[in-house]
Amino acid sequence: MIQTHFFSDFNNTSRLSLRQYFNRVKILGFFFFLSCFISFLCYADNSNLAFSETINSSVETSSPLLIDRSAVKLLNKMKASVLDNDYKLYFIVQDEDEYPNSYQYTYVGSKINKKGALLSLEGSAKEIILNDNIVSYFLIDSASFSIAANRIIEVFPDVIYSDFDSLIPNYDFINLGKGRVANRSCQLIRIISKDKDRYSYVIWIDDENFLPLRIDLLDLNSKIINQKKVLVVDFDFNKQKFEDYIADRVYPILYPIDKEDSDRKDWQVTWLPKGFKRIDTYNINFQESNIDTQHFTDGIFSFTINVSKRTQYDKVNLSIQGDRSIYSYNQGNLNIIIIGNLPAETIKQIAYHLKFK
Partner 1 sequence: MLKVQQEQLSSLMDGEQYDQDTIDSILKDDELKQYWRRYHVARDIMQGRLDADYLTFDISDKVAQLIELEDLPEQPTVVEQTTLPTLSKLIWLKTKDVLAKLSQVGLAACVTLGVIGIVQYQSGASKANDIPVLNTVPIGVNLAPVGGVGNVNNYEQPLDTMSNQQYNKIRMLVQDYELQRRLNVQ
User: In this complex, which beta carbon is closest to partner 1, that of residue 90 or of residue 255?
Assistant: 255
User: In this complex, which beta carbon is closest to partner 1, that of residue 33 or of residue 235?
Assistant: 33
C-alpha–C-alpha distance, residues 238 and 106, integer Å = 10
C-alpha–C-alpha distance, residues 43 and 61, integer Å = 28
Query: For the purposes of burial, counting CB atoms within 10 Å of the CB of 83, is it exposed (0-12), middle (13-18) or buried (19 or more)?
Result: middle
User: In this complex, which beta carbon is closest to partner 1, that of residue 152 or of residue 188?
Assistant: 152
User: In this complex, which beta carbon is closest to partner 1, that of residue 174 or of residue 351?
Assistant: 351
Helix (H, G, I), strand (E, B) or coil at 179: strand
Q: How far is the CB of 180 from partner 1 (least distance, A)?
A: 24
Question: Is 125 in contact with 119 (CB distance < 8 Å)?
Answer: yes
Q: How far is the CB of 303 from partner 1 (least distance, A)?
A: 8
Q: Which residues lie closer than 8 Å to 180 by C-beta, 6 or more apart?
A: 186
User: In this complex, which beta carbon is closest to partner 1, that of residue 80 or of residue 153?
Assistant: 153
C-alpha–C-alpha distance, residues 152 and 163, integer Å = 17
Q: How far is the CB of 321 from partner 1 (least distance, A)?
A: 4
Q: Which residues lie closer than 8 Å to 170 by C-beta, 6 or more apart?
A: 193, 194, 195, 274, 275, 298
User: Cα–chain-centroid distance for residue 136?
Assistant: 24
C-alpha–C-alpha distance, residues 150 and 146, integer Å = 12
Helix (H, G, I), strand (E, B) or coil at 42: helix
User: In this complex, which beta carbon is closest to partner 1, that of residue 98 or of residue 234?
Assistant: 98
User: In this complex, which beta carbon is closest to partner 1, that of residue 74 or of residue 291?
Assistant: 291
Q: Which residues pair with 191 in a beta bridge?
A: 173, 201
Q: How far is the CB of 287 from partner 1 (least distance, A)?
A: 8
Q: Give whole-number Cα distances, 159 to 79, 90, 206, 215, in Å.
A: 9, 20, 16, 10
User: In this complex, which beta carbon is closest to partner 1, that of residue 209 or of residue 302?
Assistant: 302
- Concatenating the DSSP letter of every residue in 65-92 gives GG--HHHHHHHHHHHHHHHH-EEEEEEE
Q: How far is the CB of 31 from partner 1 (least distance, A)?
A: 4
Q: How far is the CB of 110 from partner 1 (least distance, A)?
A: 20
Q: How far is the CB of 87 from partner 1 (least distance, A)?
A: 18
Q: How far is the CB of 169 from partner 1 (least distance, A)?
A: 18
